[in-house]
């Protein structure tokens, strides 16, 4: 009987050790981190941390894997193909809870979701409230996303929806048009083509409570390797402080080497907008609260979406994140 207990114990200890991240021959822990899109400024702090040696200083040998249109971060986490991954909005970790994928957000780089609504520079629209009676080009994927918040808070109606395509041409060809966009993307393209600045309304500044650019990891990583999660979070924060408030040249060089379509001009304007709109930190804190999340903001987002039927009311929404590795918000 004792032999049986001993065998069971050895099997259990063996399975535990398999989940523990071990150091390589260089005395570093190898880490894979997958982004949700090609290398760009919206991931710049991670590339800065890698290029400047922030991860190495914490004993981590990090490999960043570029994402694409087919990248599915939750699936990669569930299959143990990666250690960490990016989540572009608060739906991602909540959907992981719905689908019983054991993982969660451990930090949120963007305190604000970068989704915007934009109009032409000479449009009479002056705020999001003014848009509720006008047609607006919306992507299919957004109809079950921030559109629900616009309907709930500002009384937008489905009859306003016009289909948004990848091309900016339909917007450019109609000076009365309104469309959704991404803070660091469509406005810049508009400026380059027209020489004018569009009117930009960042939905987060009107109360949209989604986080952006979150770091996700598996529950197993959190349970078995909490010290590694903490090191990755801390080094990433240092990288983002350097990238947005310091000299981003190291990160930009690495980004451009990974993504041949990226240019210095595109990166520079994106960094400027991230800073201008206080996407990762407010002016007072100057980067000191990077990564911050709060129960209150998660609860607000969940309540809006559950009220609109996206999630069941009894979903354990707090399983979508943990505040154990970052400063706690209000």
The CB density around residue 120, as the number of other CB atoms within 10 Å, is 19
pLDDT at 27 (0 to 100): 84
Integer Cα distance of 138 and 147 in angstroms: 8
CATH superfamily of 115-206: Osmoprotection protein (prox); domain 2 (3.40.190.120)
Domain ranges of the chain: 16-111+210-320, 115-206
Both tokens assigned to 193: 């083509």
What are the 10-residue block averages of pLDDT along the chain, 330 residues in total? Answer: 43 49 84 97 98 98 95 96 97 97 97 96 92 94 92 94 93 95 95 95 96 97 97 97 96 98 97 95 66 95 95 98 79
pLDDT at 7 (0 to 100): 41
Give percent helix, percent strand, percent coil of the chain, each to the nearest 5.
Answer: 45, 15, 35
Integer Cα distance of 115 and 291 in angstroms: 19
CATH 3.40.190.10 fits 16-111+210-320, yes or no: yes
Supply φ then ψ for residue 110, to 5 degrees.
-90, 115
Q: Are 329 and 116 in contact (CB under 8 A)?
A: no
Integer Cα distance of 44 and 49 in angstroms: 9
Sign of the torsion angle spanned by Cα atoms 53, 59, 61, 64? negative
Both tokens assigned to 92: 């991602």
Pairing of strands 212-218, 84-87: antiparallel
H runs (alpha helix) in 59-206: 73-78, 91-98, 140-143, 146-154, 169-172, 186-194
- Give the list of residues 6+ apart from residue 120 with CB closer than 8 angstroms, or none: 175, 176, 177, 196, 198, 199
Equal fold, 16-111+210-320 vs 115-206: yes
Q: What is the 3-state secondary structure (H, E, C) of 36-83?
A: CCCCCHHHHHHHHHHHCCHHHHCCEEEEEECCCCCCCHHHHHHCCCCC
Residue 138 vs residues 6, 95, 135, 253: alpha-carbon distances, Å: 61, 22, 9, 34
Q: Which of these, 188, 206, 205, lies nearest to 197 by C-alpha position?
A: 188
């Amino acid at each position: 009987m004792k032999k049986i207990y001993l065998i069971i114990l050895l099997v259990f200890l063996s399975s535990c050790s398999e989940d523990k991240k071990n150091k390589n021959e260089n005395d570093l822990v190898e880490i894979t981190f997958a982004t949700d899109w090609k290398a760009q400024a919206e991931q710049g702090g991670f590339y800065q941390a890698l290029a400047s040696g922030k991860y190495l200083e914490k004993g981590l040998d990090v490999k960043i894997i570029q994402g694409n249109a087919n990248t599915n971060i939750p699936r990669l986490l569930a299959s143990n193909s990666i250690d960490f991954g990016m989540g572009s909005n608060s739906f991602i970790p909540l959907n992981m809870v719905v689908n019983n994928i054991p993982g969660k957000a451990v930090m949120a780089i963007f305190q604000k979701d970068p989704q915007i609504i934009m109009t032409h520079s000479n449009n009479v629209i002056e705020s999001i409230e003014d848009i509720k009676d006008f047609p607006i080009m919306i992507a299919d994927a957004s109809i079950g996303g921030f559109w629900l918040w616009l309907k709930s808070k500002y009384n937008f109606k489905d009859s306003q929806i016009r289909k948004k395509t990848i091309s900016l041409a339909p917007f450019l060809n109609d000076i009365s048009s309104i469309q959704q966009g991404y803070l660091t993307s469509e406005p810049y393209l508009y400026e380059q083509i027209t020489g004018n600045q569009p009117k930009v309304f960042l939905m987060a500044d009107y109360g949209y409570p989604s986080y952006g650019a979150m770091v996700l990891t598996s529950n197993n990583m959190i349970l078995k390797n909490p010290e590694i999660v903490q090191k990755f979070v801390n080094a990433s924060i240092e990288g983002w402080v350097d990238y947005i408030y310091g000299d981003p040249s190291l990160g930009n060089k690495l980004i451009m080497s990974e993504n041949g379509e990226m240019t210095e001009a595109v990166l520079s304007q994106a960094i400027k907008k991230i800073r201008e709109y206080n996407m990762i930190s407010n002016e007072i804190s100057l980067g000191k609260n990077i990564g911050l999340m709060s129960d209150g903001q998660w609860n607000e987002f969940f309540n809006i979406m559950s009220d609109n039927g996206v999630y069941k009311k009894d979903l354990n929404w707090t399983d979508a994140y943990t505040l154990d590795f970052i400063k706690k918000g209000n």
